[in-house]
Each structure stands twice: as C-alpha cells, then as structure tokens.
Structure 1
Amino acid sequence: MFSFVFLNKNYGQKNDSLLKYELDISDKKPTYAEIYSDSKSYKEFSDSYNLAVKNKDTLSIVSFRIKLSNFDRFRGNYDMAFDKLWEALVIAEEKKMQPQLVLIYRGLGILYDLYNKDKLALENLEKSLSLGKRLLLAKEIKKNEVASCYFNIAGFWRVRKEYKKALVYLDSCVSVHKKSKILPYVMTDRGYCYLQLGNLGEAEKLLFGAKHHLEKIEATYLVTNLSFIGDLKKEQYKYNESLKYYNESLELLEKRGLHLELKPDLLQKIAEIHIINGDLLKAVNHMKASKISYEKLFGTTSKQNQRLFEIKNKYLTEITESNKLIDLQKAVIVENNKKVFRILIIFGFVIIGVIALYLFYYQRNRIKKLSLISSLDKEKNKAVLRIKSKELTAHALQMIEKEEAIHALLLIVKNSDLASFKSLEHKYAKGSDKSWEEFNKRFTEVNVNFYESLCKIHPDLSATELKHCALIKLNFNSHEMSKVLNISVQSVHTSRYRIRKKIGLNKIESLQTYIGSI
C-alpha cells in the first residue's frame, strides 16, 4: 500500500485550499481513506500500541506511533499527529530504525508544510527521499515508499505555484514504477499543473482520464479531482459546468464525512461562480457558509486549536519531569561514587580504576540520553510556539481578506438593492466586532503577559492604543491595521504618533523594535 499526502494551502486564494489526503495508489481495497475513517481500526491500532508498550517492544512502539499519527493527521488532528511523530523520532534515531525514519521525516515534512514552515518542511521531505532512495537500493524498503516521497515534494512545489518543478517530481513517481501502473492521483496533479501552465487540452485529458479510474475504484481523491475539473471549466468560461463539478465535489465530501478541510474552499469557489453569474445573494450566503465552516475547523473555539494552546503546558511539564529525572540521576551518581570509594579502599587501586571507568562511561551515556530528550522537548515546545504565532498572523490576514471581500460585495448590493444592503451592513458591523474579539482572544492566549507588561511600563496608554500595539507586535503595516480596526490609514498614523509620544521615543528610535521587545 502506497500513501500520498496532497497539500494545497493558503485558504481563500484562487485554486488554493487547505487539503490533506493520504491515498492508496494500488488497485487494492480498502484504501487508506477508508481505513483511517474507521474508528474500529483506530481502536485496534491503539490496543496494539498499548500491548507493545507493555511488552517493551521498541520497534512495534515506533511503528504504531507512526500509524496512529497517520490516523490523527487524516482526521485533521494535526497537533496530536505532530506529537506522536516527535516521540517516535527520538526512539527511531537512537535505535537507527532507518525504514521508520523515512516515514517519520516525511510525516514531519507534511505537518511543517501545513503550518507554512517552508524550510523545515522541505528539509524533512528531502531527508525522507534521500534516505528512502538509499534503502531502496539496498532493497530494505518498497518502491511505493520512495514514490510517496517524490509525490509529497511535488505537492510542496505545486502549492507554491512552481508547476514545472512539481511536474519533474510527478514524472519521478511514474519512473519509480517504470510506467507499470496507472496512477490516477498523479494524473490528477499533472492535470492541475498543466491547467495552471495554460495547457487546457492536456489538463482536460488528464483530469477526465483520472476521474474515470478514481470512480472505478471509489477513491476519496475524487473529491479533489472534481474540484480541479471545476477549475478547468471555469478557465474555459463554462461557468454552469464549473458550478456542477464544484457541487459534486462538495456533495461527495459531505456524504463520506472525510476531508472536511476542503469544504471552506469549495464554498468559496461556488460563491465566486455565483458572483460571475450575477446571483449576489447566493454568493453572500456561500461566503458566509465558507467562513462558518473555516471557523469551525480552525477557529479559536475548535477542539484542535484548544489542544494547540494546551500543548505548551504539556511540553513544559514534560521538560520539568525530565529535569527532575536528571537531578535524581545526579544524586544517584554521587551516592554510587561514595560506595565506589569504599570499595576502592578494600580492593585496591587496580580495581578502583576499572570500576571508576565503568561508572564514568555508564553514567555519562545515561545523562547524554536524558539531555537529548530534554533538548528535543525544548525544541518541540519552541516549534509549537512558533507555529501558534504564525497561525495567529495568518488568521488576522485571512480576516482582512474576508472583510475586504464582504465589503466589496456590500457595495455591489448597495447599488442594486438598498434595503438588503442596510440589513447586511448591520450584520457585517456586528461580525467585524466579533472578529476583533476573537483575534484579541487568540493574541492574548499566545502572548500571555504582553498587555500586563506594556501597561506596567506605560500605564497611560488607552485601550485603543493597546490594540494598535498588539498589531504592531505582529508586524502589521498601516494598511493592514486600518482594515482590522476598521479605521482610516491616517487615523493609524495619528495613533502611532501618540503612542511614540507617550512612550518617549525619539525620531531615530523604531516603535516596531520597541514593541516587539516587550
């Protein structure tokens, strides 16, 4: 069985969404999608993992952690998937489990890619591919695993609109199997790349050819295929057909209850077609539904994001426990040294040297292992905090894009239906206040002591000026701040001047640098 993950990020942009698929490329059933949607299979894996822990079977522990991570990732529990891979990585690197490391590096690359950590994502994906190719030559892994690595890197470049690079890696997927298999998922991605490169004829041939095979094996990747065909029809100005394929993709997604992260983007695409067709009311409704769906998946009230905010405390607790264990080991070392000293007096200098050397290397290796675990935990904690800060900034920028889009639609409605405009404008105003409250809540959770520290140093700052300081800390420019706060750019400049004056900065000192240091 051959697992692929297909990524398409940057929610709200044309032809881009937050997608994750793990697919079975063979013609065997059931597919990964069917396995990972089966709660019974999840329980069986969990029970097997617990048994492996009980029996101290290290290889099985790592293998089942990787499988459980796949379950979590496929269901959208990315924080839990990340956590399991980190713990598997510590053991796999220590025990030099190279086939398992191929899967772990690839999984980490996928998760880093999800959170827009481009450098770390590509680094882990390429590390997985390099190790996979070496193991394939040694016949220690199957071709499917190496083809998966090529496909993941192709997806990395495709979502960054490097379509020619993506095609090179997609060709490698086929080359690994020496063109002996029909690969409808690769055909789908190739079709999308050709679509973006302007070769509509080849794109149509590949997308519909892939559609035929995906329907035949009832693969969940058909959701993506239909969405891409909708994009193709839109480029061909066949808007009714485009709407038909978007709706088919959405219906299939809702029917199977999988890949719900696709829903906001599909609703957004449908809204765009309604705008083109002049049906503004449907467009507004679909945009609202898209926003609601997105917030349900990725908003501050979602279970996943609540877990993300809890991860920091969890890792801090783990680090504290590790430090306690290190202190305990040091105490044991001291006690053992005392015992060794007594033994040395009895048995002589020769035996003293042997025992001292043994204890020295034994205890040093144990401390190194504990230090490595503590270091990895700290790195893991920092990674999560960086992810949360990145996610906060991305959320605010997406909020700006949504507000601009809704405002533009309101202007169109105003010219065509004044009564509807007034009603929608009132709802829009309430929604803007709610968006700020949600943003401020998320900011406070990520930057716990910011407001407290700032008010302590500069108690004369007003509530409005504190809002400006929060956005300055996130490196927002004046235009972005005006959109979030629903004020003019000139008002932003005036507020910045007042803040500088209250803080007491001179002309050459940077307000951005000062706020960022708090």
Structure 2
Amino acid sequence: MVYLRAKAKSDPLMRFLLVLTLLINNTLLVEAQNIVIDSLKNELHQNPERREQRVKILNELSYRYWIVDPVEAEKYSREALSISEDMQYKSGKAFAYRSIGVTNWAQGNYEEGLAALMQSLELYKQMQDTLNIANAMMNTGLIYSEQFSFEEALAYYLEALKTFNLLDRQERAVNTLNHIGELYQKQKDHEKAYEYFQQALSLSFKSNHSYGKSTAYSNLANYFKDVQQLDSALIYSNKALQIQRATSDLNGKTFSLYTIGLIYYLKSNYTEAEDYLLRALAEAESISSKKMKQDIYFKLQQVATKQGNYKKALNYYQDYTNVKDSLFNADKLREFVRLENKYELEKSQQKMQLKEQELEIVQQESELNKLWRQTLLIGIVALILISYFIYSRQRINIKRKNELLLKNQQIYDAREALTVVELENAKLKEEELNQKIAFKNKELTSYTLNFMQKNELMEELKEAIKEIKKSPGNDVGKKLGALNKMVTNSMQIDKDWQDFKRHFEEVHTDFFTRLKSKFPDITSNELKLCALLKLNMNLKEAASIMGISPESVKTARYRLRKKLQLSKEDNLVEYIINLEKEIV
C-alpha cells in the first residue's frame, strides 16, 4: 500500500487505482454497517405490534442513522415517540425526543431540535436518569453552540461534564471536553481551545478511548492549522488518521484526509494536496457524504487553478456545482419531511386534546346522570312513603281526616319548595354562564393587552436597532439590519391574529362570519379593525396591535365607514358595537 501511494504521486493511473482501492475497502465497511441496520429492520417487521420492544428497535435504528441520514433517523424516532405516548412508556419517549433533537441539529433545524431536547431533559429528570440527563445536556450544548449562544452552550457542557466525571463515564467526558474546546475555537480563543483539547487527549489515553483520541488529534490539527503551525497540524492529522483507519471511523477518516489536503494546499504543495483530496473524495463517496464532496470538489478546483490546469479546474467546479444543487434539493426535501412530521405531530396532539375534552364532557354527563338518578330514587322512595302514610291513616278512622288533609298540604308545600329550588338552580346555572362569559371577556381583554404590549415592545426594539445601526462598523450594521428585518417580519405574522381571532370568537360567536356575509367585500384588515372597534379600542391601541401608525388607522376607519355606508353623523364605534345584535 505504501508503494502504491508513492507510485500514485507520479502516475495518474496508479492514483486512480489507489482511489478505487480505498473506495472498495470503505464500501465493505459500509456494507457491514448496513448489515446491522438490515438486521434491525427485519426485527422491526417481526414485531409489528405497538409494544415496548418495537419502540426500542425504532430508537436503535434512529441512533444508527443520526449523522448518516438524519431525515431517516427522525422518521424512526417520531414513530417511536407516537407509540411511547400511546403506551405511556416514559423511557422510550425520552430517548425519542432526544433523537429528534439530535437529528434536527444535524439538519440545521436548531429551534425544533432545542424544543425536543428540552422535552427529553424534562422526562429524564422525572425518571431521575442521571446519565441521560447529562447526555441530553451535552446535546443541548451542541445546538446552543451552532446558534452562537456560547454562554448557554458552555453552561450545559460544564454541567454535563461534571455529571460524567461523577459517574466515571470517561468516554462521555472526553467527548464533552472536545466540544468545549471546539466552542472556544469558534470564539477565536485559541489558548482555551488548546487547553481543553489537551485535556481530552490526556483523558482519552487514560481511558483508552480510541474515538476520543482521534477526535482530540483532529481538533488539535485544526487548532495548529488556524495558528499557521502547519507542520504540527500535519503531524496531528496523521495521528488522527492512523486511529480512524484502525477503528473503521469512516466519517473521521474522510475529514482527516480532507484536513491534510488543506494543510498541503496552505503549504503550496499542490501535488500532495490533490492526492489527499482525491483520497478524501473516495472516502466521501463510500459514506455518501454530499457535504464533504461539495467541500472537496471546491478545494480541488482551487488546487487545479493553482497548478494552471484550468480544464481540470472547470471539471471540478462543475462537479462542485452538481453536488451543491443536489444538496439544495435534498435540503428542500428534508424541510418538506420536517414540516410534514411537524404537522402530523400537531395533528396528533390536537386529537389527543379533543379526546381529553370529550372524556371530560362524558364524565360531567355521567356525574349529572348519577345526580338525577339519585334525585329520582329519593323522589320515588318519598312518594312510596307518603302513599303508605296516607293509606294507613285512612284506615285508622275518618276522624283523622283533618290531620290527613294537613299532611297533604305539607306535601304540596314540599313540592312547591322543590319547584322553587329548581328555579334557583336554573338561576344559578344562568349566573354561572354569565360568569364564564365575563371571564372570557377578561381573558380576551388580557390577550389583547398582551398583543398590544408585544407590538409596542417590537417597535421599541426596532428603534433601538436603528440607533445601534448609526454606530461605526459595517459588519455590525449588516447584522443589525437583518435583525431589524426579522423583527419587522415577526410583527406581520398572522399567528398572533389567528390566536386573537379564536379568543374573540369564543365570546362573540360567528361575529366575523356574519359580518362577512352582510358585507362581502370587506377585507381581512377591515375585519381586524372591526374586532378592535368592537372592543372599544382607541386609535393608539388599535395602531399598536395592527402594527401601523395612528394616521393609517384613521385612514382605515374612513374607508370602513364608506364600505359600511355610514353618514358623517353616524358613530362608527357605536355602530360596530350594536352591529352584532342587528346581524343576529
């Protein structure tokens, strides 16, 4: 193999044979991994029932696919989550949430991944599963790191590291130390990064953790590359590569070969750079890593350009473009699948809520029926006792007739009192209904105020951003400009309006439907304005909620008056408030 590599540097045919050999070897390793996955899938088909064993197999499959194919991994973990929820299987549900978090991190869906990891963390805390609490915290740190929330990421990493050390889980501690070093490297704090990478390497040797060693070596190689100590970077990359070959770490081997190619490129040794990049390309082909192929083709194009081989550079650039387009299409497919899964999850949650509401109604009806049965039984018993009493009194003698009449009168009074009680119960139910309506009005008012305060806060935030943008620094200005655009867009999202509309129609049933029926050409913004006028909002409050200026509200009110065919003497607010009765 050494001779083959030496020969490949001068002979293009031998270089091709070397790449082909690497591709065949890696294909065999991938095939071994596929055998494990196929075995799990066969076991899954043999366990179709929604049982605990099926959840475990689904979660294991998801774990196998975590980094290789996160979309496929998420599919398995969501099925595991659905079954676990039906079974109330807390352990299966916790791992499924953790898997969803990791796969969304791998896909770049950080918000959704963070939400899933928080669910997993809460479940593991309920089960007092200390090890998996730490695992979930370390995964959470990864997402915060990708979002550049470095303080939050470091807090989660350190807490996880503390637990791993207490449990003497050295291999997990090594991974966490490497992540902390990568966090500092992102912040350009090379001294701190180097310190944690060395700790990870030392602990890896102590625990004989091969993956930890290779990761630490790889991280140190990147560190030395960043500080322009290229010879040291090359030494550590080769150390990482040696372990990765021995442990069949295909992902790590691909990355190390790519890193060595970059180092030779920086050293202006373009022949060696091309050789290692081609070997990295063969590895990337074997593990189907389009992201790595994209980066490698781009760097090969740069190498060919430096060598003056513009035809080869053009071919590499075309390969780079093809892979990039393929990745873009895959990203769109992943986003579609993610949204589809999110929709199914929300749909399932809505069904569960509906079932809970139906169960609550059935329970209430059952209690009411029970009360009625008890009342009826008491009435029947009372009637039997009264009848017996009357019958026995009649048999005594006629002289007790007056007493019997008196008793009958008492019975009549008791029935009248029962009627009065029933009327009072009806009155109490009416009062309870009025109280519910009043509570809904208070809730709607509270929601409206929160709605208004939110938009006012957004306006203040926009003003603050405008002030900061006046500060020097083009990069800061661009970032704050993007943040300002995001805030402006967030004020236009219809979700707040849909939530407000739902609360509003719980109090004023079919208000919008009937208003639209009477005035078919009324617009959605005019419907919003009608709702705010129904709540007797002033210009400033309405402007804050609708996210426009008070002058724009005045203009909208003028157009609304014309559409409602009101004269100057008609009061628009009073008309809208009384309109509900008129429509009904």
* TM-score between the two structures when normalised by the length of structure 1: 0.50
Q: Name the amino acid aligned to 1:127.
A: Y
**2:41 pairs with 40, 43, 49, which one?**
43
Structure 1 Cα separation of the partners of residues 253 and 273 of structure 2? 15
- Which residue of the partner structure matches residue 334 of structure 2? 304
Give the whole-Å Cα distance in 1 for the aligned partners of 2:202 and 2:257: 26
* Partners of 2:325 and 2:29 in 1: CA distance: 29
Q: 2:217 aligns with which of 187, 198, 205?
A: 187
Instruction: Find out whether 1:123 has 2:149 as its counterpart.
Output: no
Q: What CA deviation, in whole Å up to 9, does each residue of 1:68-103 have, x standing for no partner? A: 876x57996979994875664453244343321222
2-side partners of 1:89 and 1:45: how far apart?
29
Using the TM superposition, give the Cα deviation of residue 166 of structure 1 relative to its aligned residue in structure 2, in angstroms.
2.5
CA 1:301–1:265: 2 relative to 1, 3 Å: closer
CA drift of 1:250 comes to: 0.6
Q: Aligned to 1:282, which of 312, 315, 328?
A: 312
Q: Name the CA distance, whole Å, in 2 between partners of 1:145 and 1:31.
A: 25
The residue number in structure 1 matching 2:191 is 164
Query: What's the counterpart of residue 275 of structure 2?
Result: 244
Which of 142, 145, 158 in structure 1 is aligned with 2:172?
145
Q: Deviations over 1:34-78 (max 9, x none)?
A: 7588422553786665256487553355346656876x5799697
How does 1:392-407 map onto structure 2 within 5 Å?
A: none
2:136 corresponds, among 90, 104, 107, to 104
Contact residue 65 and residue 88 of structure 1 kept, 8 A? yes
What is the letter of the counterpart of residue 118 of structure 1? F
Contact 2:157 2:180 in 1 (8 A): no
1:233 equivalent in structure 2: 264
CA-to-aligned-CA distance 1:133-159 (integer Å, 9 cap, x gap):
13532x3x6111122122223234435
- Report 1 or 2 for greater relative contact order, CA contacts < 8 Å, sequence distance ≥ 6: 1
Partner of 1:155: 182
1:318 Cα deviation from its structure 2 partner: 4.3
Query: Equivalent residue for 2:229?
Result: 199
Distance in 2, matches of 1:64 and 1:319, equals 16
Contact 1:42–1:68, Cα closer than 8 Å, also in 2: no
Measure the CA separation in 2 of the matches of 1:32 and 1:124. Answer: 33
Aligned residue number for residue 134 of structure 1? 163
Q: Which runs of 5+ in 2 are unaligned?
A: 1-27, 57-83, 378-488, 496-522, 526-547, 553-584
Aligned counterparts of 1:36 and 1:75: Cα–Cα separation in 2: 20
| Alignment match, 2:427 | none
For residues 37 and 196 of structure 1, the distance between their equivalents in structure 2, rounded to whole angstroms, comes to: 39
Looking at structure 1, the residues matched to 29 and 97 of structure 2 have their Cα atoms a distance apart, in angstroms, of 20
**CA–CA separation in structure 2 for the residues paired with 1:315 and 1:157:** 37
CA contact (8 A) 2:178 2:215 kept: no
Letter in 1 for 2:323: S
- Provide the rounded CA distance (Å) in 2 between the counterparts of 1:57 and 1:147: 31
Residues of 2 paired with 1:76 and 1:163: CA distance?
Answer: 28
Number of the residue aligned with 1:7:
none
Instruction: Pick the structure with more helix per residue.
Output: 2
Distance 1:50 1:296 in 2: 34
Secondary structure, aligned partner of 1:285: helix
Give the conservation status (yes or no) of the 8 Å contact 2:138–2:160.
Answer: no
Return closer, same or farther for 1:249/1:45 CA change in 2, 3 Å cut-off: farther
CA contact (8 A) 2:135 2:160 kept: no
Q: Closer, same or farther in 2 for the Cα pair 1:38/1:79, shift >3 Å?
A: farther
Paired with 1:300 and 1:207, the residues of 2 have a C-alpha distance of 31
8 Å CA contact 2:130–2:163 kept in 1: the answer is: no
| TM-score, L = length of structure 2 | 0.45
List runs of 5+ in structure 1 lacking aligned partners.
Answer: 1-29, 347-442, 450-455, 459-504, 510-518
**CA distance, structure 2, for counterparts of residue 132 and residue 321 of structure 1:** 40
> What is aligned with 1:264?
294
What are the superposed Cα offsets for residues 302-347 of structure 1, whole Å, 9 maximum, x if unpaired?
431221343453354245335435534654675687699899999x
User: Rg bigger for which structure?
Assistant: 2
In 2, Cα distance between equivalents of 1:129 and 1:341: 59
Amino acid of the residue matched to residue 217 of structure 1?
A: T
Taking structure 1 as reference, are residues 162 and 279 closer, same or farther at Cα in structure 2, changes over 3 Å only? farther
Does the Cα contact within 8 Å between 1:188 and 1:207 map onto a contact in 2?
A: yes
Aligned position for 1:392:
none
Q: Percent of counterpart pairs with the same letter?
A: 13
Cα distance change of structure 1 residues 39 and 248 upon mapping to structure 2, 3 Å threshold? same
Q: CA RMSD in A?
A: 4.7
1:125 Cα shift?
6.2
The change in CA–CA distance for 1:132 and 1:310 in structure 2 (over 3 A counts) is: same
Q: Distance in 2 between matches of 1:117 and 1:289?
A: 30
- Count of aligned residue pairs for this structure pair: 321
